[in-house]
Amino acid sequence: MKTIKIKNKDNEFPVGKILCLGRNYIEHAKEMKAEIPSKPVVFLKPSSAIIRNGENIIIPNISKELHHEVELVIVIGSGGKNIPAKDADDHILGYAVGLDMTLRDVQNEAKTKGLPWTVAKGFDTSAPISDIIEKDKISDPQNLAIMCKVNGAIRQKSSTSNMIFSIQTVIEYLSSIFTLETGDLIFTGTPEGVGLVNSGDIIEAEIEGFIKISHPVITA
Ligand code: MG
């Protein structure tokens, strides 16, 4: 079972389900030539996809086009069903930075054929994640600078203020469909600037001023 931990603490939390949003930043939807969604676009990753800071991201041999997507991750502390937006904060343990690693060629083929994204989004090592920053350490989670670098060069840099669906709205929406449970993760979507990574690259993802992860990319 995969676990994550709170920064500077020892106890490990088992990871539950991983809910992910697509197209939650306007500029990313535009670069994908996709419609701006009127309700959240949702997909899942299995918890087996999790890796922790420093571990290798492995490009599976079914793909020649691995993309980075840096995202703010919400960590659920106490679960619930039909959580109103105004109560969402009570259910959050904290936040982390994650990478929604995506096999873009496999995803594009699935989109074309009207098939699910599960393989493109859920393969082993597709969910690198940092330790958790407890929510009381972050005064405004809707105003965090998130960034992704490849080999030291900035590829993505945005603010969580640019999300289409806010953290509270996302929790209200998702909990109306899926019962949220302790240890569930919500990847909240990526800003613009997604792009290719190759074997030998180093990807860094960061919530500026709070936490950072760094991962080598290798081939299977
Ligand atoms: Mg994403």
Q: List per-residue pLDDT tens for the chain, 220 residues long.
A: 899 999 999 989 999 999 999 999 999 999 999 888 999 999 999 999 999 999 999 999 999 999 999 999 999 999 999 999 999 999 999 999 999 999 999 999 999 999 999 999 999 999 999 999 999 999 999 999 999 999 999 999 999 999 999 999 999 999 999 999 999 999 999 999 999 999 999 999 999 999 999 999 999 9
Ligand 1 geometric centre to CA of 190 (Å): 5
CA proximity to 69, closest of 148, 1, 8: 148
Ligand 1 geometric centre to CA of 43 (Å): 9
- H or E stretch covering 28: helix 26-31
Ligand 1 geometric centre to CA of 101 (Å): 8
Ligand 1 geometric centre to CA of 156 (Å): 12
Whether 209 is covered by a domain: the verdict is yes
Ligand 1 geometric centre to CA of 179 (Å): 21
Query: What pTM value is reported for the model?
Result: 0.97
Count, residues in the chain: 220
- Number of domains comprising the chain: 1
Whether 166 is covered by a domain: the verdict is yes
User: Torsion over CA of 202, 205, 211 and 212, rounded to 10 degrees?
Assistant: 0
Ligand 1 geometric centre to CA of 28 (Å): 10
CATH number, domain at 160? 3.90.850.10
Parent domain of 104: 19-32+40-219
